[in-house]
Amino acid sequence: MTLSKVQNTDTGHCARVVICNGLGLHLRPASQLVKLASRFETCEVTLTKNGQTINAKSIMGVIMLAAEQGSEILIEAHGDASAEAVAALVEMVEGGFGET
């Protein structure tokens, strides 16, 4: 599987990913994602779906997106290590959070 490309933005990096696990971003994957995003303390990470942008370090925010299988999400990060943050999140989402 080829991962979505991480691109440069004015203030950091971004990538578009498609949610591939069957149940979408429910509680468990959301908390996995938030845990991972929170590890990158030096940068701000946001997720955008349907024009709605939320803080990727907030469980409630990620849950609010209610991202179902097949929906597209924009991951953006700015600050130090933004490329690594985006790449790590892309890998997690496209790996299906270890679900099917």
Task: Point out the residues that are catalytic.
Answer: 26
Positions in the binding site for another protein (CB under 8 A): 23-27, 38, 49-55, 57-61, 63-69, 71
Q: What CA–CA distance (Å, rounded) separates 32 from 35?
A: 5
Compare residues 6 and 85 and give the one whose CB is closer to another protein: 85
Cα separation, 84 vs 52, in Å, equals 23
Give the CA-trace dihedral at 38, 33, 98, 87, to 10 degrees.
-70
